[in-house]
Amino acid sequence: MADELAIDVRGLTKRFGPRTVVDAVDLQVPRGRICGFLGPNGSGKTTTIRMLCGLLTPDAGSGTCLGLDIQTQSAEIKRQVGYMTQRFGLYDDLSIRENLDFVARLFEVPDRRTSVDGALIRLGLVQRQRQLAGTLSGGWKQRLALAACLLHTPRLLLLDEPTAGVDPKARREFWDEIHRLADQGITVLVSTHYMDEATRCHALCYIAYGKVLAFGTAAQIVAQAGAGDLEEAFIRLVGQAQDNFQ
């Protein structure tokens, strides 16, 4: 179904002690779409992503990821979601191949050797498969991390600031790859601080103080905020939120 929702959650809430860091977040993302997740540092993006992939239990809220209940089916969600953490999550002191092989074992990928070979070919890293991951450039590390989180053929990708600190050319190539994956029907929720990346998303969710302040296409958000561009729209939204929430 083209209009099937890969992410469909309402009222998602997480408290750490007395602080509500994610506050009644609603998010709907249709299958095969790329949704950008933006907001200042500390606004609750990573916490939201962790609730969506079943790593954190929400204190309130309900809904589904890939049709699976986020409260009760987190184990199944984890098997079908690829999660790329904010910091390089692989082992610097293992080779490229060893890293991929390790992740494939974790996910009990059938026919592991073929999967890892395929990933190395797609990455263009067959010649360098014995090289230690720690010796790769930032852009290559990110490509390797993306390949690792695709090994178990997830249907939903949750990418947490995947291109932070990556040079512009590598970022562009990374985004070309994200679009190829979406064209294959994979849904992507990706957090970023880069405006050029935001404009390559089908929809944007802007969050601050744990609350969704805007949702829509870049053009809709700019128009609603009465701003000249996306960056100005976000600055306005945060300014209004500061007045309301602080």
Ligand X SMILES: Nc1ncnc2c1ncn2[C@@H]1O[C@H](COP(=O)(O)OP(=O)(O)O)[C@@H](O)[C@H]1O
- Sites of contact with ligand X (CB under 6 A): 16, 21, 39, 41-47
Binding residues for Mg ion (CB under 5 A): 45-46
Which of 206, 200, 145 minimizes the C-alpha distance to 172?
A: 200
Q: Which does 39 bind (CB under 5 to 8 A by kind): ligand X, Mg ion, none?
A: ligand X
Query: Helices marked H in 107-217 — which ranges?
Result: 112-123, 138-150, 168-183, 195-198
CB of 46 vs Mg ion, minimal distance in Å: 3
CB of 141 vs ligand X, minimal distance in Å: 20
16 or 219: whose CB is closer to Mg ion?
16
How far, CA to CA in Å, does 79 sit from each of 4, 6, 140, 192, 228?
A: 19, 14, 25, 24, 42
31 or 45: whose CB is closer to Mg ion?
45
CB of 189 vs ligand X, minimal distance in Å: 13
27 or 119: whose CB is closer to ligand X?
27
Query: Helices marked H in 107-167 — which ranges?
Result: 112-123, 138-150
- As a whole number of angstroms, the distance between CA 228 and CA 96 comes to 44
Q: Which value, to the nearest 10 degrees, does the dihedral of the CA atoms of residues 128, 133, 139, 142 take?
A: 120
Which of 85, 89, 88, 5 minimizes the C-alpha distance to 45?
A: 85
99 or 163: whose CB is closer to ligand X?
163
Q: Which does 16 bind (CB under 5 to 8 A by kind): ligand X, Mg ion, none?
A: ligand X
CB of 147 vs ligand X, minimal distance in Å: 23
33 or 45: whose CB is closer to ligand X?
45
CB of 22 vs ligand X, minimal distance in Å: 7
